[in-house]
Chains A and B, each alone.
Chain A
Amino acid sequence: MFNSELMKKLSDCFGPSGREKYIRELIIDEIKDYVDEISTDPLGNLIARKKGSGKKIMFSAHMDQIGLIVTHVDEKGFLRFTNVGGLKAKNLLGLHMVFANGLEGVICQEELKDKEKLTMGKLFLDVGVTDKEFVKQNFRVGDMCVFKSQYYETEDCVICKAADDRVGCYILIEALKNHPNTDNDVYYVFSVQEEVGCRGAKTAGYSINPDLAIAVDVTATGDTPDEIIMEVKLDGGAAIKIKDNSLIVHPEVKDMLTYLSEKNNIKYQYEILEFGGTDAGPIHLSREGVPSGVISIPTRNLHTSGEIFSKKDVEECIKLVRAAAGH
């Protein structure tokens, strides 16, 4: 049964990279009654543990989202900004943004002859306030904002912002609530700053020093009217990663996830992503190396205010995380 209420809360919570306070508090509230230990590391990663005496397994889903950061508040009361994470100027025009304090703005552009030459520097935020003093008081350099968009759900899919990677957080939370009966020492990590270079996972991987690591994150699909050649599709099941730019999945981990899927009747598909990376990138290079893999959620329209994923795929991912935690 899909927990729409939880997914909506996770998607709507403010938490761009480096500003994960609210989303961390939300997740702590959600899981604190189910874990043996819970802690926040110096970078802000939330590390929840289900103790055991066996193999040390680390799961990681990042709780930060992409956003914008204010670089300048001008005399007229407009805000200039740059991106936090992978956002391009041409995809931002007209979007509605919201700040941590609840104030909002819309992205406008300077008059341009050649629309192709649009850069971040030609865009500004109009916060809809004519009182310049109010703008000065309420917006400062370094303030961050994120997409504002309405959560929407159909019978099959969810359309929402920050599915990357709040749907991964959702999967870990649901798996954690139904943690399998096992000797394994399992760490559920909700990492920070993935969108700016998987920074949280780097330090969490070092401190936990696991025997096996599995990131849970979204991936692109090849089922839309465009040119990406990819076998991954919505409703194709949990995607077991084989390779992306940050990682070649350890063959034994790939085989293990495949075996677990087949044994437990979990629908799965193989994924090769020809760009991007996940938390498993830095984790697998931590210390002497960590055999690592990724369970991916096929997601369309990535890094936009309306990311789309299938509720059935999410269920399959939860099953696979639970199977891996107990294996």
Chain B
Amino acid sequence: MLKDFLFDICSSQFVSGFEHVNSHILPKYFKPYTDSFEKDKLGSYIFKASGTSETNIMLAAHIDEIGLMVTEILEGGFLSFTSVGGINPASLVAQEVTVFGKEKIFGVIGIKPPHITDAEERKKPLKLKDLYIDTGYPREDLVKMVKVGDIATIKREPLSLQGSRISAKALDDRAGVAVMLETAKELKKISHKSNVFFTATAQEETGTRGAKTSSYKINPHIGIVLEVGFGMTPDMTDLPQLGKGPIVAFGGRLNAKLTKKFVEVCKKYNYPLQYEAVPGRTGTDAEALQITREGIPCILLSIPLRYMHTSVETIDLKDVENAGKAIARFINELDNSDLEEILCF
């Protein structure tokens, strides 16, 4: 079920700024567990699970993904493109892509053969402007189907690895969205007092923009931001590991007492947890929430993920499940505590 949801949303495109295109998908999954649904003006999806108290809790995970945008239609069926969000050009080489023009168009991104790449060129890092999408169409046909500003994504189907590991594009931050769905399911089983707003934010990858407008609209008492964090690989051994629990962040941009409370709840109920220190910018929606209106106290929880911003992002589903349950438990505990006291400096 969790895996089906992730596979479904990871194989659909929600490129930053174009989150409205597949707008039927999220409501289908969230509506059974929530009471109302609306969107903010930037396109963030807001699902509300109503409680009995006046307390509003906002969960935020961004639905948008990095993508490509057509900048020029060239002779011979080639398309120049720029990126929407941060992409390492090297990760695009030899990929299949889907261009979302008037209709879906398939293409490939190639690279100069090694035989004729000289030593000097090899040393230079690739740039986006050196790459092209090859569609195979003659230009006169292509201009009828594709316009400057149309978007494209890497074409990659989600993949089950061994055990509970999966690999897909856009697990940053669909893994966070999946955590929200897990929390929604858990909360449905208990009678929670707080109003909980599950927010799939728009345009995080271009500057946490949807989080700014949606948090202004919701005006919550606290924020729980769900992201992905760097997971351990053989070349980066001192990082959190996949399958050992979500990563809770400590740092100046996050509320220390609320974070402490979350850690206590996880310890009390034996939910696995890993830790990271983020002294400055987190580069997440928490950044936006913290300074919305009068300020929103936030915690930041990340799912360990390998190969961020490539089409083979890899996570362990256990971390998503555990994070979802831990947050539901946390909300339940907050319902029975004096929130004002926790938030008081």
Contacts and interface: CB of A to CB of B under 8 A. Distances in A.
Interface of A: 227, 229-231, 242-243, 246, 248-249, 251, 254, 270, 272, 274, 284-285, 287-291
B69 interface: yes
Given A270-B149, A289-B213, A248 B206 contact: yes
Given A288-B40, A291-B41, A270 B84 contact: no
A288 B41 CA distance: 6
Interface string B296-315: 00000000000000000000
17 contacts: A231-B72, A243-B149, A246-B207, A251-B20, A270-B149, A272-B82, A284-B209, A285-B42, A285-B212, A287-B216, A288-B40, A288-B213, A288-B214, A289-B210, A289-B213, A289-B217, A291-B41
Contacts of A242: 69, 148-149
A243 B148 contact: no
A274 B84 CA distance: 10
B80 A229 contact: yes
B213 A230 contact: no
A230 B71 contact: yes
Given A229-B72, A242-B149, A274-B82, A288 B20 contact: no
Interface in B109-163: 129, 147-149
A285 B18 contact: no
B167 interface: no
Nearest to A243: B69
Q: Across chains A and B, which 3 residue pairs bring their CB atoms closest together, nearest first? A: A248-B17, A289-B213, A289-B41
B292 to A, nearest CB: 10
Contacts of A285: 42, 209, 212-213
Given A251-B18, A274-B71, A290-B41, 9 more contacts: A230-B71, A243-B69, A243-B82, A246-B207, A248-B206, A251-B17, A272-B82, A285-B213, A291-B41
B135 to A, nearest CB: 17
Contact residues on B (Cβ < 8 Å of other chain), bracket: 20 to 34
Interface in B64-111: 69, 71-72, 80, 82, 84
Contact of B40 (A231, A248, A289): A289
Nearest to B21: A251
A42 B110 CA distance: 54
A74 to B, nearest CB: 37
Interface of B: 16-18, 20, 40-42, 69, 71-72, 80, 82, 84, 129, 147-149, 203, 206-207, 209-210, 212-214, 216-217
Contacts of A246: 207
A230 B148 CA distance: 10
Contacts of A251: 17-18, 20
A297 B237 CA distance: 51
A287 B218 CA distance: 11
A272 B41 contact: no
Contacts of B40: 288-289
A125 B71 CA distance: 42
A287 B213 contact: yes
Contact of B149 (A227, A230, A254): A254
Contacts of B69: 242-243, 272
Given A229-B80, A229-B129, A272-B149, A284 B42 contact: yes
Nearest to B80: A229
A108 to B, nearest CB: 37
Contacts of A288: 40-41, 213-214, 216-217
A164 B131 CA distance: 32
Nearest to B147: A270
A242 B212 CA distance: 21
A242 B216 CA distance: 25
Contacts of B16: 248
Nearest to B70: A272
A243 B84 contact: yes
Contacts of B203: 248
Nearest to A287: B216
B206 A231 contact: no
A244 to B, nearest CB: 10
Contacts of A229: 71-72, 80, 129
Contacts of B209: 284-285
A290 B210 CA distance: 11
A275 to B, nearest CB: 10
Contacts of A243: 17, 69, 82, 84, 149
B128 to A, nearest CB: 9
